[in-house]
Amino acid sequence: MKTTLIYSGGLDSTVLLYWLLHNRHEVIAVSFDYGQRHKREIESAKTICRLLDVAHETVAIPPLRGSVLTDAGDMPHGHYADENMKQTVVPNRNMVMLAYAGSLAIASGCRAVAYGCHAGDHTIYPDCRVEFVNAMRAAFELCDWSQLQLLTPFVHEDKTEIVRIGKRLCVPFDLTWTCYEGGQQPCGQCGSCVERNEALANA
């Protein structure tokens, strides 16, 4: 199947890329520049797609406002479940990326869109909830005259399980990028770094 992957260059979507290739999808990967500080992740996406000879496109969309990931302000540090991590919610980001990926998918003859939402995100990000994903799946099936599938194979998995899947698929974790800060090296302190390091240790 020809599938459009929403590909950040982070750990989850990189494991999903390997999972899709393992399951014989022909993948077109798309990364979104939405004004995030951590544009560094897009370099990881490009590098890994080159390595795998997968088509990759970066789409710059107008900056999304209303989050510490895109506006000025201090990045909260600590564990993901903490209340202050809600400052990192970018309003409706996932619907925007899904909608755009859906448009690209239809225009390029793909019959599915894949994205790497997972169970660990649910407490912070409203648009990672299973109910939201299911509503978007219903909308995807109706947005074109032929059904467009929404593939979210990790929606019930936590990050540790995703790392385990990635290990079995020989994912080069050191090439992926997770940190929310805009630096050249991971900060190790933001919620995203903390969760990544815990998952790598647990798996």
Site for a copy of itself, rule CB under 8 A: 59-62, 64-66, 86, 90-96, 98-100, 102-107, 126-127, 129, 131-132, 135-136, 138-139, 141-145
Tokens of 84: 């202050």
Residue matched to tokens 């999304």: 64
Nearer to a copy of itself, 53 or 131 (CB): 131
Measured in whole angstroms, the distance separating CA 167 from the mean position of its chain's CA atoms is 18
CB 133, min distance to a copy of itself, A: 9
Question: Under 8 Å CB-to-CB from 150, ≥6 apart: which residues?
Answer: 98, 112, 113, 114, 115, 133, 136, 137, 140
CB 11, min distance to a copy of itself, A: 24
> What's at 164, amino acid-wise?
R
Nearer to a copy of itself, 102 or 166 (CB): 102
CB 161, min distance to a copy of itself, A: 24
CB 103, min distance to a copy of itself, A: 4
Nearer to a copy of itself, 116 or 186 (CB): 116
Question: Under 8 Å CB-to-CB from 23, ≥6 apart: which residues?
Answer: none
For 3, the 3-state DSSP assignment is strand
DSSP secondary structure of 13-32: HHHHHHHHHHTT-EEEEEEE
Nearer to a copy of itself, 81 or 138 (CB): 138
CB 98, min distance to a copy of itself, A: 7
- Nearest CA among 142, 122, 32 for reference residue 81: 122
Nearer to a copy of itself, 104 or 175 (CB): 104
What's the chain's Rg over C-alpha atoms?
Answer: 16
